[in-house]
Amino acid sequence: MNRPKLFAFASPSGGGKTSIIKPLLKTYPEFEFSVSATTRQMRPGEVNGKDYFFLSKEEFEGLIAQGGFVEHEFFFDTHYGTLKREVDRSLNAGHSMIFDVDVKGALSIRAMYPKESVLIFIAPPSLEILEQRLRSRKTEDEQKIQHRLRRAAMEMETGKQFDVTVVNDKLDTAIAEVDLIIKKHITS
Per-residue pLDDT tens for 38-49? 999 999 999 999
Q: Which of 124, 105, 108, 116 is nearest to 32 (CA)?
A: 116
The pLDDT value recorded for residue 38 is 95
Give domain limits for the chain. 6-186
Longest C-alpha distance within the chain, in Å? 50
Per-residue model confidence as pLDDT tens digits over 127-161: 888 788 778 877 778 888 888 788 888 899 999 99
Q: How large is the C-alpha radius of gyration of the chain?
A: 16
Q: Which CATH number fits domain 6-186: 3.30.43.10, 3.30.300.210, 3.40.50.300, 3.30.930.10?
A: 3.40.50.300
Q: What is the pLDDT along the chain (188 residues), one digit of tens a residue?
A: 468 999 999 998 878 899 999 999 999 999 999 999 999 999 999 999 999 999 999 999 999 999 999 999 887 789 999 999 999 999 999 999 999 998 999 999 999 999 999 999 999 888 888 788 778 877 778 888 888 788 888 899 999 999 999 999 999 999 999 999 999 999 86
| Percent helix, percent strand, percent coil in the chain, to nearest 5 | 45, 20, 30
Neighbouring residues of 148: CB distance < 8 A, sequence distance ≥ 6: 12, 13, 14, 134, 140
Contacting residues for 52 by C-beta, under 8 A, at least 6 apart: 35, 36, 37, 38, 40, 42, 46
Task: Quote the pLDDT of residue 188.
Answer: 67
Q: Report the alpha-carbon distance of residue 178 to residue 25 in Å, rounded.
A: 12
Which pairing describes strands 6-10 and 117-123: parallel, antiparallel, or unpaired? Answer: parallel
> What's the DSSP call for residue 188?
-
Report the run of H or E that residue 118 belongs to, with start and end: strand 117-123
